[in-house]
Amino acid sequence: MNVTFDKKDALNGTISIQIGSADYMPNYDKKLKDYRKKVNIPGFRPGTAPMGMIEKQVGNNILLEEINALASNALHNYITDNKVNLLGEPVLNHDTLVEKIEKGIDYNFKFDLGIAPEFDLNIGKSDVFTRYTVSVDDAEVTEEIGRMRKRFGKLEEVSIAEQDNDMVYLNLVELADDKTELEGGVKADNVPMLLSVVTNAEAKALLTGISKGAKSTVNIFTLFNNDEQEMSHALGVAKVGVADLNPNFSFEVVDIKRNTEGAIDQELFDAAYGPGNITNEADLRAKISEDIKGFYTGQADHLLEHNMMDTLVAKHNVTLPDEFLKRWLMDRYADKFTNENIETAYLPEANYLKNHLVEEKIMTANEIKIEEADIRAAAVEYTKQMFGGYSMSGLNEDLINQLIEPSLKKEDYRSKMINSAVKMKVNAAVKSMITIEEKEVSKEEFMKIVEEHNHAHHANHEH
Say how far apart CA 310 and CA 301 lie, in whole Å: 14
Q: How many domains does the chain have?
A: 3
Pairing of strands 435-441, 128-134: parallel
Q: Is residue 205 a part of any domain in this protein? A: yes
Q: Is residue 120 a part of any domain in this protein? A: no
Tell me: do 285 and 374 sit in the same domain: yes
| CATH number of residue 246's parent domain | 3.10.50.40
Q: Looking at beta carbons, which pairs linking 174-183 to residues 24 or more positions away fall under 8 Å?
A: 174/220, 174/245, 174/246, 174/248, 174/249, 175/217, 175/246, 175/248, 175/249, 175/250, 176/246, 177/246, 177/248, 179/217, 179/248, 181/250, 182/246
Tell me: do 167 and 134 sit in the same domain: no
Give the 3-state secondary structure of residue 174.
strand
Tell me: do 307 and 225 sit in the same domain: no
Three-state SS annotation for 57-101 = HHHHHHHHHHHHHHHHHHHHHHHHHCCCCEEEEEEECCCCCCCCC
Q: Is residue 136 a part of any domain in this protein? A: yes
Radius of gyration of the chain from Cα atoms?
35
Asked if 218 and 249 touch (Cβ cutoff 8 Å), the reply is yes
Q: Is residue 265 a part of any domain in this protein? A: no
Mention every residue, 6+ apart, whose C-beta is less than 8 A from residue 289. 136, 141
Q: Is residue 147 a part of any domain in this protein? A: no
The CA-atom distances, in angstroms, between 264 and each of 122, 281, 290, 331 are: 55, 7, 18, 63
Question: Residue 229 corresponds to which amino acid?
Answer: Q
pLDDT in tens, 383-437: 877 765 444 445 667 788 888 889 999 999 999 999 999 999 999 999 999 999 9
Tell me: do 224 and 199 sit in the same domain: yes
| CATH number of residue 22's parent domain | 3.30.70.1050
Say how far apart CA 422 and CA 73 lie, in whole Å: 31
Residue numbers of the domain that contains 30: 2-115
Which of 209, 230, 260 is where one domain is finished? 260
Give the 3-state secondary structure of residue 118.
coil
Tell me: do 346 and 449 sit in the same domain: yes
Tell me: do 12 and 33 sit in the same domain: yes
Mention every residue, 6+ apart, whose C-beta is less than 8 A from residue 223. 193, 198, 200, 203, 249
Q: Is residue 149 a part of any domain in this protein? A: no
pTM above 0.75? no
Tell me: do 290 and 326 sit in the same domain: yes
The CA-atom distances, in angstroms, between 308 and each of 198, 418, 463 are: 47, 20, 19
pLDDT in tens, 213-263: 999 999 999 999 999 889 999 999 988 889 899 999 999 999 999 988 889
Tell me: do 434 and 290 sit in the same domain: yes
Tell me: do 255 and 342 sit in the same domain: no
Q: Is residue 214 a part of any domain in this protein? A: yes
Q: Is residue 148 a part of any domain in this protein? A: no
Which of 260, 282, 308 is where one domain is finished? 260
Residue 388's pLDDT is 58
Tell me: do 449 and 302 sit in the same domain: yes
Tell me: do 299 and 429 sit in the same domain: yes
Q: Please name which of 304, 314, 192 lies closest in space to residue 253, comparing C-alpha atoms.
A: 192
Which of 260, 281, 304 is where one domain is finished? 260
Per-residue tens of pLDDT for the chain, all 463 residues? 999 999 999 999 999 999 999 999 999 999 999 988 888 888 788 788 888 888 888 888 999 999 999 999 999 999 999 999 999 999 999 888 776 778 888 999 999 999 999 999 999 999 999 999 999 999 999 999 998 998 888 888 999 999 988 999 999 999 999 999 999 999 999 999 999 999 999 999 999 999 999 999 999 999 999 998 899 999 999 888 898 999 999 999 999 999 888 899 999 999 888 899 999 999 999 999 999 998 899 899 999 999 999 999 999 999 999 999 999 999 999 999 999 999 999 999 999 999 999 999 999 999 999 999 999 999 988 887 776 544 444 566 778 888 888 999 999 999 999 999 999 999 999 999 999 999 999 999 999 999 988 877 665 555 4
Tell me: do 111 and 168 sit in the same domain: no
